[in-house]
Amino acid sequence: MSGSPRPSLLIISFSRLASDARVLKQIKRFAGIYDVTTCGYGPRPDPRVEHVRIEDEHWRTHHGRYITLRTYPLAHRLTPKAVEARAKLRGRRFDLAIANDPDTIPLAFSFVPQRRVLADLHEYSPRLHEDDDVWRSRIGPYYAWLCRRYGTRAGAATTVSQGLADEYQREIGLRCEVVTNAAPFADLRPGPVGDRIRLVHSGACLRNRQLMLLLDAVELSSAPVSLDLYLVPNDPGYLDELRSRAGALPHVRVNDAVPYAELVPLLNGFDVGVHLLPPVNFNNAWALPNKFFDYVQARLGLLVGPSPEMASVTTQRGLGLVAQGFTAEDLAAQIDRLTPETVASFKAASDRAARPLAADAQVDVWERTLASLLESGA
């Protein structure tokens, strides 16, 4: 044990912690239970924790030479971000760790007994960018190796959807519990629905998400709707293309992203959250993303593509409509079915689902798991 009145917990993520919604949920819950130290990019994410900052110059870097040679132990050990984190944590020991994504698991093992590490595998990492041929042949096998070599040794593992959990079990032999990307409960009410139905989409501006399909669908639809997009400028060139196209369409606007703390209240002013995500890779096919739950907390109706995880929850809880395919025509057909009355019923269903689909019940899985690992005496 650490000598602190409370057990010590290391939370590691090679991400900007202050803007990583999933990691922030871990920090928020456990800062009141454990003596928490965080390790990752950016400033301290919570005043209650000690923070070990990794410098931005090492952002998302891999040691390409060793990955190419498939000398994977060296590839991880000599990756600049891992070298820096290991140096800054040298001499420390912790009672527990949450290692976010596969490349932080061996780092956690340096400071915590393996069976007291919870590996939170946000996505199915071996196929993360499989739509990129170079990534699939070069980086994918490295992530598969990390999962087999280290993920299977961790005390427990979680991931974001059942489809991904099934793939980890089938391909890696790694059993994962599901902890969805549910949003915190928001004490809001559904707003009224006017004659023009207000559609909204929020998230990353990535070309492989084919966001132009949303604009195409609105143009094809004969329904009186508007569409607002709030986009993080991941791909500035693509964002410019979307803005240019939106400028030629009435009632379509491309807006700057807002801080996450402001997002759900902003979304509450709309009617229907839209997410059509073509299955260009495995993780897109089985996505159950943050925005899905943001829309529920904002008390919106939902309009999604036939992605199995999103479609299942939408249908089971009566939250909205599911397009039959991933084309603009498929989405436009569902937009045409929207009426103020049906949208009001979908928003009421989101209101009923907001509490059971909120983050608390999901974060409880992590809390129970860490308590069990601590009690195991490993």
Classify residue 227 by burial, with Cβ atoms within 10 Å: 0-12, 13-18, 19+: buried
Q: What is the DSSP string of 147-175?
A: HHHTGGGSSEEEES-HHHHHHIIIII---
CATH number for the domain running over 8-182+358-375:
3.40.50.2000
Return the closest-CA partner of residue 307 out of 345, 353, 275.
275
pLDDT at 378: 59
pLDDT at 4: 58
Domain ranges of the chain: 8-182+358-375, 197-353
Residues 6+ apart with CB under 8 A from 106: 76, 77, 82, 146, 149, 150
pLDDT at 316: 97
Half-sphere CA count of 104, side-chain side, radius 13 A: 25
Beta bridge partners of 202: 230
pLDDT at 2: 45
Half-sphere CA count of 298, side-chain side, radius 13 A: 28
3-class DSSP state of 17: helix
CB 353 within 8 A of CB 296: yes
pTM: predicted TM-score of the whole model, two decimal places: 0.89
pLDDT at 60: 60
Helix (H) or strand (E) holding 54: strand 50-54
pLDDT at 5: 84
The parts of the chain modelled with pLDDT lower than 50 are 1-2
Using CA atoms, how far apart are residues 104 and 232, in angstroms rounded to an integer? Answer: 25
pLDDT at 1: 41
Beta bridge partners of 273: 200, 302
Same fold, 8-182+358-375 and 197-353: yes
Superfamily in which the 197-353 domain is placed by CATH = Glycogen Phosphorylase B; (3.40.50.2000)
CB 41 within 8 A of CB 14: yes
The residue length of the chain stands at 378
pLDDT at 59: 65
Structure tokens at 87: 């140096």
pLDDT at 56: 86
Q: With left for phi above 0 and alpha for psi between -120 and 50, is residue 229 left, alpha or beta? A: beta
